[in-house]
A and B are shown apart, each in its own frame.
Chain A
Amino acid sequence: MSADPSASVLRFEGVSLAFDETPALDSVSFEVRRGETRIILGSAGSGKTVLLKTALGLLKPDSGRVFVFGGQIKDLTEARLFDIRARVGILFQEGGLFDSLSIGENVAYPLLNQRLLRVEPAEALRRAGEALRFVELEHTLEKFPSELSGGMRRRIGIARAVVSRPPLVLYDSPTAGLDPITAHTIISLIIKARDLENTTTVIVTQRYQDGIWLDNFRYNPKSGGLEPVRHAGPDKPGTMFSVMREGRIVFEGDRKELEGCRDPYVAKFVKRETSAPLRSRSGAGTEPRP
């Protein structure tokens, strides 16, 4: 991988994909640079999940090209894709945890099964414990997914996504269907994971608040909590927003541009009153005062 800090980590070039002649992605083009946080907003059925699955090579586009870490993935075999996926973490919408495995085994799964990440089972379990401590659920190591709440499963999913410390992490609607307090905990964890390892982060979501939190706050390892971002560093890419509608990207830009956008569909996602609630006292995994 190139050392260029602005190197492209994920790039879509005119990607189209249809299911039974219904387009799910329609000429989608965008680029995510290293260290960038990309928020992809869109209502249900706009193609957000399909976009993430296409980025991982789980779905093959009908046309267009997808580049991950600078390499095109469209024509790679599944075995080669496994090597690419070893460097990408993903949180599925409902967590995607394996019912038949314990939480410890779920989190250790990539370390035991990814060819490039493989470690001894004892080491994998130790690192799974570390990742569970990161999401403050270390006591669930022996439990099974069915014993946990939806929010906890999402947190376990985050632990599994970051256990191998991948440079790119994709989050599929991480706060969908969660209450505001749990949603805040999840976003705090995503911010923490992003800032501790300086990972490139792509989040698809229906909630504009998620984007605002990710844009406004960063994790302070000294205080162990979140703090407002006062100024973006010149060398660090900030947060970029895209808005999807019926498989197309209808907006791309930073938050200022998004809030100034006159398009009625885009404007529906922008709610100014949601920009305030996060307090800097809130550490990852802690509950905010509503």
Chain B
Amino acid sequence: MLDFLKAPIQSVQDFFVLSAKTIRGVFRRPHYWDDVFLQMDVIGFGSLPIVILTGFFSGAVMALQMSKALAQYGAVGKTGELVTISLVRELGPVLTSLMVAGRNSSGMASELGSMKVTEQIDAMRALGTDPVQKLVAPRLMATCSVLPLLTVVADFMGMLGGFVIAYTLLQMSPEFYWNSAWQSIGYSDIFQGLIKPFSFAVIVALVGCHYGLRTTGGTQGVGRSTTRAVVVASVWIFVLDFFITRFFVNI
């Protein structure tokens, strides 16, 4: 009767087993540093254009929306403050992580999935290499290193986008905008804004690798794994975001 639950429960169990093995792999030799740096380049530098664009335009759109709402209360001067807080606490981490999930969870799932269906994962094990150590741990380490950095870039670009709107359309002086933006950020916001992408990085990397390594059914299977990886990673980013925010709101 409960057969329909078997596959998802098995998948969750496999995910936690993979997570435990990967975290153990991070602290165990051998470390494949070449792969870590390669992945940092692929995930970090490769995602820079989309993160810059997304950050800039989300900041600009927020400034437009906020200024309209704030104008009703005669508080247009608060635009910089609101844009900055929203970006640093929420939009920067979440949007960046979603972008990286779309780009790299799918990339990891398809790359590892292709390796799985062409027996490269088996070959790796047969030739003396632990695929978790060689493939998953470097991706986790790389994502956890670069996602907070990408978020900082997205936050700054968002603030810049907000500034462009504030300066060109709201006639706000640069000194006023940047000063109010800077003053509005507290240490708790910065901590929250960095712990989130770090946690989301774990989801982005492990979900992508998990679905990649579970791939069966040839090229169609690779497609399925890729789609699932993006969907599941995106949903879990929102779920985890809720719990982290809930925690920080309470303290």
Contacts and interface: CB of A to CB of B under 8 A. Distances in A.
Given A94-B118, A96-B118, A114 B128 contact: yes
B128 A96 contact: no
A120 interface: no
Given A92-B119, A93-B119, A110 B130 contact: no
Contact of A85 (B118, B120, B128): B128
A152 interface: no
A97 B118 CA distance: 8
A237 B169 CA distance: 89
A99 interface: yes
A98 interface: yes
A136 to B, nearest CB: 22
A110 B123 CA distance: 10
Interface string A141-173: 000000000000000000010000000000000
B122 A113 contact: no
Given A96-B118, A96-B119, A99-B120, A90 B126 contact: yes
Contacts of A86: 128
B2 interface: no
A109 B127 contact: yes
B28 to A, nearest CB: 11
A115 B128 contact: yes
Nearest to B131: A78
Contacts of B118: 94, 96, 99
Interface string A100-132: 000000000110011101000000000000000
Contacts of B125: 58, 78, 85
Interface residues of B: mostly helix, strand, loop or mixed? helix
A53 interface: yes
B245 interface: no
B126 A58 contact: yes
A266 interface: no
A110 B122 contact: no
Interface string B10-22: 0000000000000
Contacts of A99: 114-115, 118, 120
Interface string B117-142: 01110111111111000000000000
Contacts of A78: 125, 130
A56 interface: yes
A82 interface: yes
Interface in B89-133: 114-115, 118-120, 122-130
A67 B246 CA distance: 55
Interface residues of A, number: 23
B119 A85 contact: no
Nearest to A157: B123
A85 B126 contact: yes
B123 A98 contact: yes
Nearest to A79: B130
B118 to A, nearest CB: 6
B8 to A, nearest CB: 14
A90 B123 CA distance: 8
A26 B115 CA distance: 28
A94 B124 CA distance: 14
Interface string A57-94: 01000000000000000000010001001101010111
Contacts of A94: 118-119
Contact of A113 (B114, B115, B120, B129): B129
A69 B108 CA distance: 37
A88 B120 CA distance: 17
| Most A-side CB within 10 Å, residue of B114, B115, B123, B130 | B123
Contact of B122 (A92, A114, A115, A160): A92
Contacts of A110: 127-128
A99 B126 CA distance: 16
A89 to B, nearest CB: 9
Contacts of B129: 113
B120 A82 contact: no
A160 B128 CA distance: 13
A78 B123 CA distance: 14
Nearest to A110: B127
Interface of B: 114-115, 118-120, 122-130
Closest 4 CB pairs of A and B: A96-B123, A114-B128, A96-B119, A92-B119
Given A113-B129, A114-B128, 18 more contacts: A53-B122, A56-B126, A58-B126, A86-B128, A90-B123, A90-B126, A92-B119, A92-B122, A92-B123, A93-B119, A96-B118, A96-B123, A97-B120, A98-B115, A98-B123, A99-B118, A110-B128, A160-B127
